[in-house]
Amino acid sequence: MSDWLNQVFCEDALSGLARIPDGAVDLILTDPPYNLGKDYGNASDQQTVEEYLRWTEQWIDAALPKLKPNGSLYIFLTWRFSPEIFVMLKQRMTMMNEIIWDRRVPSMGGSVRSYSSVHDTVGFFVGRKDYYFDLDAVRIPYDAETKKARSRSIFIGAKWLEVGYNPKDVWSVSRLHREHPERANHPTQKPLEIIERMVKASCPPGGVVLDLFMGSGTTALAARRCGRQFVGFELNPEYCAIINERLAALETLEALAVAAAPDAPAEPKAKAKPKAKAAVAPKAKSAAPKKKTAAKKTAAKTTATKKAAAPKPAAPKRSRAVKKAPPEEVTI
């Protein structure tokens, strides 16, 4: 049974994971509470350090069996707890990258007793060496200036120049400001640009993405937009309502796109009528060239008559010029 697919369950992930069969998920992509005291409508972000780390280990051990052997995991964390949680995951998986998300926070305000924190830490882990990873799906195109600078013959046809370069492990993507059209009513919403990059790179088309802490539902939207399936959990009913609204809006856009698609083939038919008229038009125009040709012939005859009547002094001059040429050649 796959009635759990493409569903966001409004319940605790620790109990809800029992719905998902083991080895059914291609990618775990999740953004758990950072334990910084934020209000998510519950006390999930307000634990002691010991409670938070113990709870993190619980959900990690419950979630990893759902992953396929060649599956991957991305986890958003704060620098405060990433060292401890990375160690937990390193004991169970292989760490491939520590990705730094530069949130592009404006240079104002901040602490006066420490350096301002302007990034999130993301861990990228895999189950085994043959993990799925589609680099070409997430390459960043080179700009025109770079391509022009690499125009020498040794670069012609180079794949890397045409398809773009490998994203680095520092991702500079602006956080979602309140006036951003993508923004939902959630304090720590992640940009679609980041989530979609992870989905495209580490989940095959048609594969399944699991998010244990859906929040505003960005993972579900990214999976849907990228042609993947999803499943997730969210404890707060208000956030569940936001997720449903965002998914419904996306479904509406998809339905409009499908409804507009059948009209596309009709455009060539409308353009076919002028072609039919254009096919008749040359017949009307064909008479005009004949008149012009006749006029040209008459003018040619008149010119020939005048030339015949005129004296021919020019011809001897040309002949003498030709006769003088051989002596010059002999002299040389």
- List of domains in the chain: 7-105+114-263 (3.40.50.150)
Judge whether 219 and 29 are in contact, CB under 8 Å.
Answer: yes
Gap between the Cα atoms of 1 and 20, Å rounded: 10
Could you tell me which residues come within 8 angstroms of residue 263 by beta carbon, excluding any fewer than 6 positions away?
none
The model's pTM: 0.74
Helix (H, G, I), strand (E, B) or coil at 159: helix
Q: What is the three-class DSSP state of 27?
A: strand
Closest listed residue to residue 219, CA positions, set 17, 29, 34: 29
Q: Which residues contact 31 (CB under 8 A, 6 or more apart)?
A: 75, 76, 188, 190, 211, 213, 215, 219
Residue 232 belongs to what H/E stretch?
strand 229-233
Place of tokens 């992953």: 67
Full pLDDT tens readout for the chain, 332 residues: 589 999 999 999 999 999 999 999 999 999 999 999 888 888 888 899 999 999 999 999 999 999 999 999 999 999 999 999 999 999 999 999 999 999 988 766 777 899 988 999 999 999 999 999 999 999 998 877 776 666 655 555 566 677 788 999 999 998 877 777 777 877 788 999 999 999 999 999 999 999 999 999 999 999 999 999 999 999 999 999 999 999 999 999 888 888 887 655 544 444 443 343 333 334 444 444 444 444 455 455 555 555 544 555 544 444 444 444 444 443 33
Chain-centre distance of CA 273, in angstroms? 39
Structure tokens at 90: 């390193």
Decide the pairing of beta strands 170-172 and 25-30.
Answer: unpaired
For residues 178 and 2, what is the distance between their CA atoms, to the nearest angstrom?
37
